[in-house]
Amino acid sequence: MAFFDFIIWSPAPNIISDWNIPRWYGLLFAMGFIVSQQIMYFIYKKEGLKEKEVDVLTVHMILGVVLGARLGHCLFYNPLYYLKNPIEIFMIWEGGLASHGGALGILIAVYVFVNYDIRVKFFPLIKGIIGIPTSIKSTKKKREGQSFLWMVDRLVIVVAITGTMIRTGNFINSEIIGIPTDSEYGVVFSRSLEESMLRTPLVNQVEFEEGKGDVREGLVPMKMTVHFQRDKTLNDATVKTRLLSSLYNLGSAEVRRHIVLPKNDQIKLEVKQKEGHYIGEVDIYGIPRHPAQLYEAIYCLVLFFAFFHVWYYYREKIPQGMLFGAFLALLWALRFLDEFFKENQEKFEDDYLLNMGQILSIPLFSFGLFMIFYSLKTNKKSADKITNA
Residue 161 in domain: yes
Residue 7 in domain: no
173 with 130, same domain: the answer is: yes
How many domains, the chain? 2
- Please determine, for residue 3, whether its predicted confidence score (pLDDT) is greater than 50: no
CB contact at 8 A, 152 and 110: yes
What's the pLDDT at 326? 97
Query: Looking at residues 278-283, what average pLDDT do you find?
Result: 91
52 with 151, same domain: the answer is: yes
CA dist 358 and 365 (Å) reads 10
Q: Is 206 helix (H, G, I), strand (E, B) or coil?
A: strand
Residue 2 in domain: no
Higher pLDDT, 246 or 314: 314
- Please determine, for residue 312, whether its predicted confidence score (pLDDT) is greater than 70: yes
- Please determine, for residue 379, whether its predicted confidence score (pLDDT) is greater than 50: yes
170 with 152, same domain: the answer is: yes
Query: Looking at residues 148-152, what average pLDDT do you find?
Result: 95
49 with 172, same domain: the answer is: yes
320 with 267, same domain: the answer is: no
88 with 140, same domain: the answer is: yes
262 with 379, same domain: the answer is: no
- Please determine, for residue 18, whether its predicted confidence score (pLDDT) is greater than 60: no
CA dist 291 and 342 (Å) reads 9
Residue 198 in domain: yes
Last residue of a domain, which of 259, 286, 313? 286
20 with 112, same domain: the answer is: yes
- Distant-in-sequence, close-in-space partners of 177: CB < 8 Å, separation ≥ 6: 189, 257, 289, 292, 293, 342, 343
pLDDT tens-digit map of 35-65: 999 999 999 999 999 888 999 999 999 999 9
Q: What is the mean pLDDT of the chain?
A: 86
Residue 1 in domain: no
Q: How confident is the model at residue 73 (pLDDT cuts 50, 70, 90)?
A: confident
- Please determine, for residue 4, whether its predicted confidence score (pLDDT) is greater than 50: no
326 with 251, same domain: the answer is: no
Residue 384 in domain: yes
Residue 3 in domain: no
- Distant-in-sequence, close-in-space partners of 350: CB < 8 Å, separation ≥ 6: 344
Last residue of a domain, which of 261, 286, 311? 286
pTM: 0.84
Last residue of a domain, which of 286, 316, 349? 286
Q: Which domain holds residue 155?
A: 14-178+292-388
Residue 9 in domain: no
CA dist 2 and 328 (Å) reads 38
- The 10 Å CB-count burial string (b at 16+, else e) for 200-210 is bebbeebebeb
220 with 146, same domain: the answer is: no
CB contact at 8 A, 310 and 43: no
What's the pLDDT at 386? 46
CATH of the domain at 267: 3.30.980
Higher pLDDT, 280 or 78: 280
328 with 216, same domain: the answer is: no
